[in-house]
Copies of this chain bind each other. A is one copy, B any other.
Amino acid sequence: MRISELVERSGVPLATIKYYLREGLLMPGEASSATQASYGEDHVQRLALIRALTGVVGLSIQKTAEVIRLIERPRTDLFLTLGAAIGTLPPYAEDVPGENPRDYPLARTVLARHGQIYDPDYPAVGQLDRALAAASAAGFPIDDDRLDHYNAHVRAIAEYDIAHIPDESAQSAIEYAVLGTALYEPVIVALRRLAHQDLARHRFIADTAGT
């Protein structure tokens, strides 16, 4: 298809498509003449992915380009590729001034106790460490019992996620890892708040009925 049709099909303005082409986020079309190029379904899909990453996920163009580089040239090790792709998602460690990126003792202790790997270069390690520190600083430290309980159920959720990784290509696995992580987290936290409401209502109605 011509670029005008790509604009129509994708809903992405022409100037934006040209920008993505210049920045290497969108692969070039096939040259059909000296001044025209032809685009295909892969371009429509790529634009949808860029729109999801920069839109609902909220990544910068720079972070979006990182994800796309990983899709175009996945490392030989898919595990490391997925880790790098998820590492493009916020929260970013550089947001926290004075952070020491070498070690995360709070996260290290928790992961050791749960028999999980501890890799300080994986951004979620610092994320867990900061979240635990923030809870303590606010006077609501998370004790081992609560962490064990949370982790068991979170792991059951993660098992479902991992069992459903599409395995037809590295590209689809990377898309699922990045978008599934970013898009399903807000669902999970909203479900928790709604479960609180539902459970609290039962509890307080039961209390009232009992007195």
Q: Chain A interface (Cβ within 8 Å of chain B)? A: 48-49, 51-52, 55-57, 77-79, 82-83, 86, 91, 107, 111, 116-117, 119, 122, 124-125, 127-128, 130-132, 134-135, 137-140, 142, 146-147, 149-151, 153-162, 164-165, 176-177, 179-181, 183-201, 203-205
**CB-based contact A197/B124 at 8 Å:** yes
Chain A binding surface SS class = helix
Closest 9 CB pairs of A and B: A52-B138, A158-B195, A124-B193, A128-B190, A131-B186, A56-B134, A153-B153, A135-B183, A127-B190
Cβ of A131: which chain B residues have Cβ within 8 Å of it?
A: 183, 186-187, 190
A86 contacts B116, CB within 8 Å?
no
Known A128-B190, A184-B142, A195-B154; contact A200-B57, beta-carbon cutoff 8 A: no
Residues in B with CB closer than 8 Å to A135 are 56, 179, 183-184, 187
Query: Which among B86, B127, B140, B162 is the interface contact of A203 at CB below 8 angstroms?
Result: B162
Structural contact, B82 and A140, CB atoms closer than 8 A: no
As for how many copies of this chain the complex holds, the number is 2
A179 with B140: CB separation less than 8 A: yes
A182 to chain B, nearest CB (A): 9
